[in-house]
Amino acid sequence: MRPPTPSPRPPATDQEETRFWLALHRTPGIGTRRCNRLLADFGTPSAIFSAPASRLRAAGLQAQSIDALARPDWAAVDQDLAWLAGQGNRLLTCLDPAYPTMLREIPDPPVLLFVHGDPAYLLQPQLAMVGSRNPSHDGAALAQEFATHLSACGLTITSGLASGIDGAAHRGALQGEGGSVAVTGTGLDRVYPASHRELAHQIAENGVLVSEYPPGTAPLPANFPRRNRLISGLSLGTLVVEAALRSGSLITARTALEQGREVFAIPGSIHNPLARGCHALIREGAKLVETGDHILEELAPLLALCRSQHPDGEAPGPITEHAPAPVKLDAEYLRLLDLMGYEPVSVDQLVQRSGLTPEQVSSMLLLLELEEQIAASPGGRYSRRR
C-alpha cells in the first residue's frame, strides 16, 4: 500500500521565514552559489526545507547537506536572532528591496547580509578604497585626503576596516557627506582589528557595517578574500592607494575587473616597494589617477545612470580641486625643498646637495615640518608632502 501523501506545509510567517533563511545560511555544504541555485529552483528557504530528499538530490545536494537540512542548527539560529534584536542590527536577504543593487550583479552575490547601521548607504554610489596595511606616511595621508574629497562630492567610500589604508579611507570619508561602508571578514558582533572599535562606532553612526558572515565568526584568513569581492562588488570602482606586489588589495582590484568595475591606481616612486602593486595594475589596464577629479570624470556616466535610477537621491557631481593657500617661504627654503624632492632623504644628503651646514639644514627642516611642507620618515629621513 502506498504511504499517504504528506500534507503541504502552510506558508511560513515572516519571522519563521527569517529563521529558515538563517538556518539555510548555516547549512554545511551549501555555499553561496549552490544556495542561489536552490533559491532559483525552490523560491524560498522554507520551500527548500520542506522539499523531499529525492527533490533535493535532483537539485544536486549531497547526502550530508540533505541530512543537515533535516536537522537545522536552531540553537545557532537563535543566537543570530538574538543579535538581530540589538539596536541598529538588520538582516538583508537577496530578495529584499533594500539589498544593494550593485551587489546583485556580481557572479556570486551573498544570499544574506548582516547589517549594523543605516542600510540606505548600501544603495548609494560607492567607491572602494584599498591598500597596504602598513602604508607610508604619504600613502595614509593621500588615502584620507582622497576619501574626504570624494565623500564631499557625495560618493560613499567603501573599504574593509583593516589597518592602514582602509582605516585612513574610512576616517577621511567620515569627514565628508557621503559616509562610509565597512565590509568585514568577521561577524558583526566583533571588531577586527580591535584597535578600530571606535572607528567602527563612528561608521555605524555615519554609514553602515556589513558582513555575509553570521555573528560569532572569527577573523579566519579564508574569510578576507571573500570579503574583498563584496568591497568591489558594492562599488562603481576600486581605488588602490598603495600596495606591494603580493598585497591582498590586488585581489580586490582584480576581482573588480572580473566584475566589470573600474579600477584606479595612484602611482608612486619606482623605488617604493609599496608602489609596485599600483604600477602592476596600471600596466594591466588600471587607470592612473592623481586627483579626485580623474575618478569623477571616469565615473561620470555611471553616476548619471545612478541619478536616473534614483531620481530622489543625489549622485555626486563634478568638483574643482581646491589647493591649500601657499605658504610664503624664503628662496633658501624653496631651494631646499627642490633639492629634497619627494623621496625620503637624510640630513647628510641635504647638506651635501645644498652646501649648507648640518645646523642650518636641521633648523630649516624643523620649520618646514611645522609648516607641513615635509614629513619625517623612519631612520631620520625627510620627504616633501605632495
From the list 127, 134, 113, the residue with the least C-alpha distance to 170 is: 127
pLDDT above 90 coverage of the chain, percent: 70
The pLDDT confidence band at residue 384, using thresholds 50, 70 and 90, is confident
From the list 127, 130, 124, the residue with the least C-alpha distance to 150 is: 127
Is the distance from CB of 112 to CB of 39 less than 8 angstroms? no
Consecutive H or E run containing 167 = helix 165-174
Report how far residue 296's alpha carbon sits from residue 301's, in angstroms, rounded to the nearest whole number.
9
Please count the helices (runs of H) and the strands (runs of E) in the chain.
17, 12
Task: Domains for the chain: give ranges and CATH numbers.
Answer: 14-81 (no CATH), 101-309 (3.40.50.450), 331-384 (1.10.10.10)
The pLDDT confidence band at residue 269, using thresholds 50, 70 and 90, is confident
pLDDT of residue 315: 46
Which three three-digit cell numbers place residue 313?
537621491
Is the distance from CB of 132 to CB of 203 less than 8 angstroms? no
Q: Hey, which of 121-130, 293-302, 358-367 has the most confident mean pLDDT?
A: 121-130
Q: Hey, which of 155-159, 272-276, 331-335 has the most confident mean pLDDT?
A: 155-159
Report how far residue 283's alpha carbon sits from residue 379's, in angstroms, rounded to the nearest whole number.
32
Helix then strand then coil, % of the chain, to nearest 5: 45, 15, 40
**What pLDDT digit, counting tens, does each position of 342-353 carry?**
778 889 999 999
* Three-class HEC string of 17-74: HHHHHHHHHCCCCCCHHHHHHHHHHHCCHHHHHHCCHHHHHHCCCCHHHHHHHHCCCH
The pLDDT confidence band at residue 93, using thresholds 50, 70 and 90, is very high
pLDDT at 54 over 70: yes
Which three three-digit cell numbers place residue 305?
545612470
pLDDT at 1 over 50: no
- The sheet with strand 156-159 has its strands ordered as 89-93, 112-117, 207-211, 180-183, 156-159, 126-130, 237-240, 262-265, 287-288
pLDDT at 323 over 70: no
- Is 374 strand, coil or helix? strand
**What pLDDT digit, counting tens, does each position of 8-21 carry?**
455 566 889 999 99
CA dist list (Å): 340 to 181, 354, 369, 381, 385: 38, 9, 13, 10, 11
HSE, side-chain direction, 13 A CA sphere, residue 111: 24
pLDDT of residue 322: 41
pLDDT of residue 324: 44
